[in-house]
Amino acid sequence: MTTMKVRFYIEGLSNDKKALERAVEEIVKSLENENTLKVESVRAEDVLENPEDEMLKYSSMVEADLEGPFEEIVKAIMKYAPAVVEVISPAKLEVDAKRLMRTLGEVSLFMGELMKKFGGLVAYPPLDELSKPKIGYSRDEIEEFIIDGKEILYRFVIETYGKDKESIEETMLKAFAYEGCKINKMVVKVQEEKEGRIYALVATELISPFEVLFQLAAKYAPVAISIMEPEIVDVSATELQNSLTDLGGFVHELVHRPLRKKLIEHDTFKFKLS
């Protein structure tokens, strides 16, 4: 099994210097005690103060050089939420499609639990002005996307709510196209109707680069995902770096929402008093 070497940049932010120092110490200790990854080095910067940021004016950065299998690196990202993930090696990673599906399933489950607590991640500009994307591709076209374009054909099932079946289908078609997917098939199956809204399952067959697939698994937390082709997925270091950094950013965004909300409410209260 090919291992990866990565560098995590884990950012700590707080409005309390002592609390941040304790948090950084805990992160360093946790990293040093990792037993599923080889920890080559861990470095923590001194806490810095930024007087211009009244909400979170103290910051620090922990750098960690880690080595391990792709799956364990992904788990560590979900645990530590690094701001940036730098892939040092390899230049390209070949991942078995079944292994990748298991990892994406773990990402989906983890992100789904976070979104239940802190809210969703999916947000788009108005999609009304976008034209309806093409649906359906020939076998020759699909093979060209996979062989020449290094793209992935997969099935993706999500839960969603909407006004009616037609509006859900139109929105999801445009949303997936906006994300960078080619749509081969889509089926919307209504599960329940309540108080003028319907709950539905949206099953799609999509074609996209690895980065888009990885982002969709994290942002939508699908209830099912199945990679159809290819059997071995080639992923470049750049694609890995972008995808893993996005995952860390998504986790960071969700877990820090309550703190940011509390600080904003506090500042709003002070503003009203003044």
Cβ burial, residue 131 (10 Å; 0-12/13-18/19+): exposed
Distance of CA 72 to the CA centre of its chain: 16
Reported as a single tens digit per residue, the pLDDT across 227-271 is: 999 999 999 999 999 999 999 999 998 988 776 666 555 444 344
Indicate if 71 and 106 belong to the same structural domain: no
What is the Cα–Cα distance from 187 to 235, expressed in whole angstroms? 29
Indicate if 10 and 28 belong to the same structural domain: yes
- Identify whether the C-beta of residue 73 lies closer than 8 Å to the C-beta of residue 241: no
Q: What tokens appear for 21 in the block?
A: 């120092």
Reported as a single tens digit per residue, the pLDDT across 181-212 is: 999 999 999 988 877 789 999 999 999 999 99
Domain that holds residue 26: 3-90
| Final residue in a domain of this structure, among 56, 90, 124 | 90
- Please tell me the predicted confidence (pLDDT) of residue 259: 67
Distance of CA 58 to the CA centre of its chain: 26
- Identify whether the C-beta of residue 98 lies closer than 8 Å to the C-beta of residue 154: no
Alpha helices in the chain (DSSP H): 17-32, 70-80, 97-118, 139-147, 165-179, 210-220, 237-255, 257-273
Instruction: Examine residue 141 and state whether it is found in any structural domain, yes or no.
Output: yes
What is the Cα–Cα distance from 217 to 8, expressed in whole angstroms? 21
Indicate if 137 and 155 belong to the same structural domain: yes
Mean pLDDT score, 75-90: 95
Reported as a single tens digit per residue, the pLDDT across 90-108 is: 999 999 999 999 999 999 9
Q: What tokens appear for 2 in the block?
A: 């090919």
Indicate if 171 and 49 belong to the same structural domain: no
Reported as a single tens digit per residue, the pLDDT across 14-58 is: 878 888 889 999 999 999 999 999 999 999 998 888 777 666 778
What is the Cα–Cα distance from 266 to 188, expressed in whole angstroms? 43
- Identify whether the C-beta of residue 217 lies closer than 8 Å to the C-beta of residue 142: no
Cβ burial, residue 3 (10 Å; 0-12/13-18/19+): middle
3 state DSSP class of 52: coil
- Please tell me the predicted confidence (pLDDT) of residue 262: 61
Indicate if 218 and 135 belong to the same structural domain: yes
- Please tell me the predicted confidence (pLDDT) of residue 54: 65
| Final residue in a domain of this structure, among 38, 67, 90 | 90
| Final residue in a domain of this structure, among 59, 90, 121 | 90
What is the Cα–Cα distance from 221 to 78, expressed in whole angstroms? 14
Indicate if 195 and 170 belong to the same structural domain: yes
- Is the model's pLDDT at 135 over the cut of 50? yes
Q: What tokens appear for 230 in the block?
A: 């290819």
What is the Cα–Cα distance from 25 to 27, expressed in whole angstroms? 6
Q: What is the pLDDT confidence band of residue 121, given thresholds at 50, 70 and 90?
A: confident
What is the Cα–Cα distance from 49 to 35, expressed in whole angstroms? 34
Q: How many domains does the chain have?
A: 2
Q: What is the mean pLDDT of the chain?
A: 89
For residue 80, the domain's CATH number is: 3.30.70.60
DSSP 120: -
Instruction: Examine residue 271 and state whether it is found in any structural domain, yes or no.
Output: no
